[in-house]
Structure 1
Amino acid sequence: MNDDRRTDDESAGDDRPATRPLDPADPVRPTALVLPAAAEAPLDERRPWLERVELEDVYAVPGTDTSLYLTTDGVAITTTGIGKSDAATTVAALLANSAIDLESAYVVSCGIAGSSPQTTALGSVILADAVVDWDRKHRWDRGTDADGEDRSADTNAEPRSIDLLSYRPRDYVHQLDDRVLETGLRGARAVSLVENDETLEYQCRYPNAPETGPIVGAGTTVCGDEFWHGAGYAREVEYLCERYGVGPYVTTQMEDAATATALDRFDCLDRYLSVRAVSNYDRPSPGESVEESFDGNDASLALAIENAARVGSGVVDTLVTDDPLGLQS
């Protein structure tokens, strides 16, 4: 049983309801489940959600990362934890618990992400139409030949280091439901995004980045457990997405392929959306090292966390109100 053993739950504040166990005789039946990844500073994606709502109950759920918060509007909020194994475990624990009824719930991952500077402005919020699993691939060492000789200086050597798995029962791409995506986009586009001068100034260090502030859009998100960074790795990500027919990628993150897989196993994938705000670019600007540029800056991180929650709230409200799958009937 996890609830208050985690110090990250302290970010919910001292005025929250007392945590109590679930009761299978009286299951929790939320209209939506919101899944930020983290509740620890400086990546506290959950905080702005809890600041916007009135809480009705807090539940301890075995197998989850943190407590499950239920709002007076019937929305459930909990963190998945960072990374694919954490996300898959949390979502499966929620779906398998007989005291939680998600039959009428839309599921929304909501948090921050990386992006290419050529793709969109920092602070932009992207709803995924496809979720790619970056970790399911071949990675080839092209620097050695069949005799074990080093070929790294051979200009005729095959430059590509990755490829699709030769054996794969399916493509490792989750295509999300068009009805849910279009409904979510309506809600997202009705929200006013925040922008700030410090983030825009940082963005302008990238010659190919947009010169304007954040937007709302849709596109492919790529999920992997590897903290990769740099233009060379970005080309590999682009290649993998092209091979799957879902390029170009727009955002990169660490949880959503696992969340989608768990939902798919429980026949709930059709009700899922990934909502991600761009906090940093996936390569350095001119004059920066990869280490210096990895996290973006404090302003872009804070901006993305705020815009993700703003848009996510609009998405959830619209999904529950318009109910494109008829889950509430």
Structure 2
Amino acid sequence: MTHASRKRLGRRLAGACLLGAMAACGSAGARAAQIPVRVVVVVTFEIGKDTGDVPGEFQTWVEKLPLKQELPAPGTWHGVMRYNPDLQVLGIATGEGPEHMASAMTALVLDPRFDLRRTYFVLAGIAGIDPNFSSIGGAAWAPRVINGGLAHAIDAREIPSDWPDGYTPVQGSTPTDKPVPPLHSLSGDMEYTLNPALVGWAYNLTRSLALPDTPALKAIRARYVGYPQAQKPPAVLLGDTLSSETFWVGERMNRWAERWVGYWTEGKGTFATTAEEEIGLMQALTLQAQAGRVDPDRVLVLRTGSNFDMPPPGESAAELLKSEASEGGYSGYLPSVAAAYQVGSVVVRELALHWDRYADHVPGAPPARAGE
């Protein structure tokens, strides 16, 4: 090797060492500057601004928790996250639909500003609610998330007469194929069971809350003659959520949803609410948990009923859609937005204010034994 070649090699090695040192320094600096997050509050939409106008799911959290500090949220629908440095609570509005949810959660978990390995995730949003389960304005902590979007579907005009509906598992050919196909396969993830101890703890912490009730809510639920659960005042309950990007409506679709939840949970589940995003949330967090970036046992899903998913007796599904549109939105919209914050914030504050208790020990779980 010539002297000139040795000098060029030396310069390249020195440059490589400098770049490596800079990368190491940057990595250490990023770790030193990480923003501590005890709880992530996950919502799906905001209507206008984050404060001062008609609230979406995000605004009440921003104004009341509060979440005053803005943080950029690159790669997400909303573009901005909100943070409370005293509680160390981060709020993110992901955008509607499972795709927006999955991409936003992945961007968040991979963001070098945060270490989320001990962080709790609380999805708090509005949903359609089954009148066989509860009333609009009511809240449900979900023990399970069921995928309502992945299926074979036959047009209603071609459903065989001996089928209950036109939906079959992608892995099967009839609505009630037995045994139930594998939940986790090449066809996707059909059911997620959340940490039962944590869900039970959140429910017990909030079950006695008196939720908002209004003359308008009373008038709406009075129309559901023959549905005793729908006619009760709003309450905090336990019930499973069905995640589907299609905004379905009607008595027959409601019967399908009840059957679908029962099918995939082999009779253990109870259909309560229907929304879009949970399957994206659970898929993203489950995959990131496999990489050790989050703890899947620290996830909660809360949904509050903004509308019934089927009409009252004597009214068609199309008439229900028309009436909801003419009233400017979901019949129980504002009470359900308020209930999502009222119920969810109790759990979020408890976790954040008693971090010494919950950082290393998930509430509701039995204490770890010596050596574990």
Counterparts in 2 of 1:196 and 1:142: CA distance versus 1, 3 Å: closer
**SS in structure 2 opposite 1:201?**
helix
Question: Pick from 61, 68, 84: which aligns with 2:73?
Answer: 61
**SS in structure 2 opposite 1:70?**
strand
Alignment of 1:164-179 (within 5 A): 164-166=169-171, 170=184, 172-179=190-197
**SS in structure 2 opposite 1:259?**
helix
2:9 is aligned to none
- Of the structure 1 ranges 121-130 and 285-294, higher mean CA displacement relative to structure 2 is found in 285-294
TM-score under structure 2 length normalisation = 0.73
State yes or no: 1:287 paired with 2:315.
yes
**Distance in 2 separating the partners of 1:294 and 1:161:** 26
**Superposed displacement of residue 254, structure 1:** 0.8
Q: Which runs of 5+ in 1 are unaligned?
A: 1-22, 145-151
**Distance in 2 separating the partners of 1:169 and 1:180:** 22
**Superposed displacement of residue 157, structure 1:** 5.6
**Distance in 2 separating the partners of 1:294 and 1:157:** 33
C-alpha contact (below 8 Å) 1:180/1:324 kept by paired residues: no
State yes or no: 1:111 paired with 2:125.
yes
Question: Pick from 295, 299, 312: which aligns with 1:272?
Answer: 299
Q: Which runs of 5+ in 2 are unaligned?
A: 1-28, 49-53, 173-181, 290-294, 364-372
User: Which amino acid letter does the alignment assign opposite residue 215 of structure 2?
Assistant: D
**SS in structure 1 opposite 2:332?**
helix
**SS in structure 2 opposite 1:273?**
strand
1:85-135, Cα deviation, whole Å (9 max, x unpaired): 000010010011111211221000001011111210111110000000101
Larger Rg: 2
Structure showing the higher helix proportion among its residues: 2
State yes or no: 1:160 paired with 2:165.
yes
**Distance in 2 separating the partners of 1:113 and 1:174:** 18
TM-score under structure 1 length normalisation = 0.82
**Distance in 1 separating the partners of 2:34 and 2:116:** 10
C-alpha contact (below 8 Å) 1:103/1:327 kept by paired residues: no
User: Which amino acid letter does the alignment assign opposite residue 164 of structure 1?
Assistant: P
1:78 is aligned to 92
RMSD: 2.5
**Distance in 1 separating the partners of 2:156 and 2:277:** 30
Question: Pick from 251, 260, 265: which aligns with 2:273?
Answer: 251
Superposed structure 1 runs of 4+ greater than 6 Å apart: none
State yes or no: 1:323 paired with 2:362.
no
**SS in structure 1 opposite 2:35?**
coil
- Of the structure 1 ranges 59-68 and 256-265, higher mean CA displacement relative to structure 2 is found in 59-68
**SS in structure 2 opposite 1:100?**
coil
**Superposed displacement of residue 136, structure 1:** 1.4
- Of the structure 1 ranges 239-248 and 31-40, higher mean CA displacement relative to structure 2 is found in 239-248
**Superposed displacement of residue 316, structure 1:** 1.3
**SS in structure 2 opposite 1:266?**
helix
**Distance in 2 separating the partners of 1:65 and 1:219:** 29
1:94 is aligned to 108
1:8 is aligned to none
Counterparts in 2 of 1:38 and 1:198: CA distance versus 1, 3 Å: same
**SS in structure 1 opposite 2:30?**
coil
1:51 is aligned to 63
User: Which amino acid letter does the alignment assign opposite residue 120 of structure 1?
Assistant: S
**Distance in 1 separating the partners of 2:112 and 2:214:** 45
**Distance in 2 separating the partners of 1:199 and 1:318:** 30
C-alpha contact (below 8 Å) 1:34/1:78 kept by paired residues: yes
C-alpha contact (below 8 Å) 2:210/2:235 kept by paired residues: no
**Distance in 1 separating the partners of 2:275 and 2:55:** 13
- Of the structure 1 ranges 118-127 and 191-200, higher mean CA displacement relative to structure 2 is found in 191-200
Identical positions, percent: 23
**Distance in 2 separating the partners of 1:169 and 1:117:** 28
